[in-house]
Amino acid sequence: MPISILAIESSCDETAAAVCIDGKIRSNEIATQQIHEQFGGVVPELASRAHIQNIVPIVDAAMKKANCTLQHIDAIAFTQAPGLIGSLLVGSQFAKSLALALDKPLIAVHHMQAHVLANLILEPKPSFPFLCLTVSGGHTQIVLCKSPTNQQIIGKTIDDAAGEAFDKSAKLMGLPYPGGPLIDKYAAQGNPNRFKFPEPQIADLNFSFSGLKTSILYFLNNAGTSNVFKEEFKVTQDEKQQFIAENLADICASIQDRIVSILLNKLKKAVKQTGVTQLCLAGGVSANSGLRKAFEELGKKNNWATFIPPFEYCTDNAAMIAITGYYKYLQNDFVGLGTSVNARSL
């Protein structure tokens, strides 16, 4: 008998549902909440309300697309952690209600583990063990993945995530949220060697992006004269705006280049430390064209096997929850209706 999993993802501002049958994704539906754009970031209360409105139609659409009925579903998987608590509650309550009504088992999925397993959705797949650089708006991690259910975080950010580094840099330049894709777009026309931003000196596999953000702030306030704070370098608002407007592509290319080199230098170090040469990307920032290109070039140069999931499986989605749910199903890893969600990583 085929194993059919219905998965629900609602950890942040995307309401998503997917159906996976025997490890193959049959549908992957998503409702992106536009309401947050005007606020320059996700507003948690508005996200919860939008999830409530979206969840029934999205689950319905995922079931229809997969040509599946609720009677055919063997288990319901949902995102348990981490995320916005109100958002997680909507998805988990919906999943629990469905599990209770259909008398089907419930599977709790960790959102970050699911990002890593997005690499197992399509062929070619990495073999175990593999290293995954997971880069999203909330997380930056290097994960050593020994099996679908055995993941070890060997490096993580000690302050901002890579996506935040992109978004906050964009905000400093007056670009709208989320600024990551815009930096990517402008960077394509720019010279990445024009401006130099510092690389943090951290000995282990951890990341830090807060120093970069501060140096960009001073760099812009000084109209490119310097990366450090000195009252005499400071220019007027008009001069600053003019500097940004005239050099936007080069600034974006230089910022992107530094963020990418911070990420990949740590990955190189992780390969050296572990000897693992199957390398994956995951998370929304893996949509970045500079990162994708540099990651693949690095792989080619060093004879490493590199894997990047298609864009729809990199950003928040329910297909990754479904594939993780499938592997947990194979291990009889179920939870009771009393299980709770957690805003933090468990």
Q: What would the two tokens of residue 205 be?
A: 């596999």
- To the nearest whole angstrom, how small is the minimum distance from the Cβ of residue 7 to Zn ion? 14
Binding flag, residue 105, ligand KG4 (CB under 6 A): no
Q: Which of 136, 157, 208, 306 binds ligand KG4 (CB under 6 A)?
A: 136
Q: What would the two tokens of residue 150 be?
A: 């055995």
The region of 47-55, 71-79, 145-153, 278-286 touching ligand KG4 under the rule CB under 6 A is: 278-286
Binding flag, residue 316, ligand KG4 (CB under 6 A): yes
Q: What would the two tokens of residue 185 be?
A: 């777009």
Ramachandran area for residue 212 (φ above 0: left; ψ -120 to 50: alpha; else beta): alpha
Q: Which of 283, 299, 309, 325 binds ligand KG4 (CB under 6 A)?
A: 283
The region of 64-72, 177-185, 202-210, 321-329 touching ligand KG4 under the rule CB under 6 A is: 177-185
Residue 86 vs 178, nearer CB to ligand KG4:
178
Q: Which of 285, 319, 335, 341 binds ligand KG4 (CB under 6 A)?
A: 285
Under a CB-based contact definition with an 8 Å cutoff, are residues 52 and 308 in contact?
no
Q: Which of 138, 190, 299, 325 binds ligand KG4 (CB under 6 A)?
A: 138
How does DSSP assign 97-139, residue by residue? HHHHHHT--EEEEEHHHHHHHGGGSSSS-PPSSEEEEEE-SS-
The region of 49-57, 244-252, 282-290, 293-301 touching ligand KG4 under the rule CB under 6 A is: 282-290
* Phi, psi (degrees; rounded to nearest 5) at 224: 85, 0
Alpha-carbon distance of 267 to 205, in angstroms, equals 8
- To the nearest whole angstrom, how small is the minimum distance from the Cβ of residue 164 to ligand KG4? 6
How far is C-alpha 117 from the geometric centre of its chain's CA atoms?
A: 12
Q: Which amino acid is located at 239 in the chain? A: E
Alpha-carbon distance of 130 to 32, in angstroms, equals 31
- To the nearest whole angstrom, how small is the minimum distance from the Cβ of residue 297 to Zn ion? 26
Residues binding ligand KG4 (CB under 6 A): 12, 136-138, 163, 166-167, 178, 180-181, 184, 283-285, 287-288, 315-316
